[in-house]
Every structure is written in structure tokens, then in C-alpha cells.
Amino acid sequence: MSIIEIKNLTKEYIYDKSVTYALKNVNISINEGEMVAIMGPSGAGKTTLLNILGCLDKQSNGNYLLDGRDIKDLKKRQLAQIRNEKFGFVFQQFALIPEYTVFENLELPILYGNNFKTINERIRKKTRLEIIKKGLMDVGLSEHLHKKPSQLSGGQQQRIAIVRALVTNPSIIYADEPTGALDQKTGTEIMELLKGVNKQGKTIIIVTHDLKVASYCERIVNVIDGELTELKNK
């Protein structure tokens, strides 16, 4: 069943009456539980596509259906709720808050999600701690709960970032060059971790320029000059 359906999607920028297309008539359907790589050279439009899929940006034309619902006309608060509840994000540079401990970094999306819940639905501190401890145990970092990001290696920080993406139990994980700041061995470990998350039923969409990273995915699509082509379907 399609969890994402993109139809004739276009993203354009207008400067001094001149139009530049970041994306042109993109069509793609992604099923629940798939692991998909989006590849392409720098400036091709792949990150723009990821930002639209993650409701961080809006298309100029076309339709984006999420679970069959067209999100084009949703208000900012509705989009924020979707980002918090349905999506998890993993970035190349980890995007952890340096002043916060691991616990505080992981607690933040849960606390933010409480803003969209009734008082009775909100996740209490004891439960938040249990969720976070379980996530850290799953990636072998239980002992780092009270450390700051600067006290961790790059690979450890990316594992923490993956736990942060998962603490709200989203259905889709978006990863933008998740191994780009890591050495080859650590990058392989991170991809094995993401593959394991996918096997648990999460839909994972990865932007990458690395064919080795893309090889972990069931499908590879290529974005060149804003247009999308399916390269591989295992």
C-alpha cells in the first residue's frame, strides 16, 4: 500500500521574472515498509525533494498524498504535527544540540509532541525515560545517557540521532547523507542499523551520492536537473 504518492510535482523559484526549476513533474509512489535511495549530483534537486517529502518545504504545483491525504492545503500547525508524529529525521552532521545531554536531546521531540496531545495523552517523564533508555540500549549506548555530544564519536552521535528519529515512533524515516560525515567502517555500521530499522517495518528514504549506501535499499531513483528516473528495483 502506498504511504507516499507524488503526482506531477514541480518546485520553482522566481528571480527577476526568471524561473528556475528545482523539480519538474516528479511522479513517485513509495509503499509502506520500503527502503528507497534518492541519488543524483549536487544541485540536482534531491534534497529539495526530501524537504518536500518531509513537509519542510512546499511544492509549487502538483500533489503530495501522505496516507492518501493531500497535504497541500494543511496549515503550519498541522504540518508540524505530521513532522513530529509521522516522520523522523537523520542528518549528515547529526544536528544534536551541543549544550544538551544525550537524554535532553532525545527527550526534546517527545516534549514537542506533547504540545499536540491532550493532558491525559501526554507522555510523562517516567515513560519518556523508559523510551529513551530502551532506544539507547537498542544501539548499544546505554551508558551515555548524561553525556554531551562533544564527548561522543561521530558514529555514536549518529546512532543517537537515529534514536532521536525513532523516539516518537514515526512511520517514515528521512535520512540526508547519513554516512557523509563518517569513515567507511562507521558508515557501514550506521547503514546496517538503518537496515535493521527498516526490517522492523519503518519506511526509510535516504538521500545519498554513495552507491554503497544506495545498495542497502530496495529501490534507487535518480534525480538529474529536477527530473526523476527509476534506476533499480530489486
φ/ψ (deg, to 5) at 148 = -90, 155
Residues 6+ apart with CB under 8 A from 16: none
CATH of region 2-233, choose from 3.40.50.150, 3.65.10.10, 3.40.50.300, 3.30.1490.480: 3.40.50.300
| Strand blocks (E) in the chain | 2-15, 18-31, 35-39, 61-66, 69-70, 87-91, 172-176, 203-207, 219-224, 227-233
pLDDT in 10s for each residue of the chain, 234 residues: 799 999 999 999 988 888 889 999 999 999 999 999 999 888 889 999 999 999 999 999 999 999 999 998 899 999 999 999 999 999 999 999 999 999 999 999 999 999 999 999 999 999 999 999 999 999 999 999 999 999 999 999 999 999 999 999 999 999 999 999 999 999 999 999 999 999 999 999 999 999 999 999 999 999 998 999 986 555
Closest CA to 64 of 14, 133, 16, 10: 10
Three-state SS for 209?
coil
Domain boundaries, the chain: 2-233
Q: What is the pLDDT of residue 127?
A: 97
d(CA 153, CA 158): 9
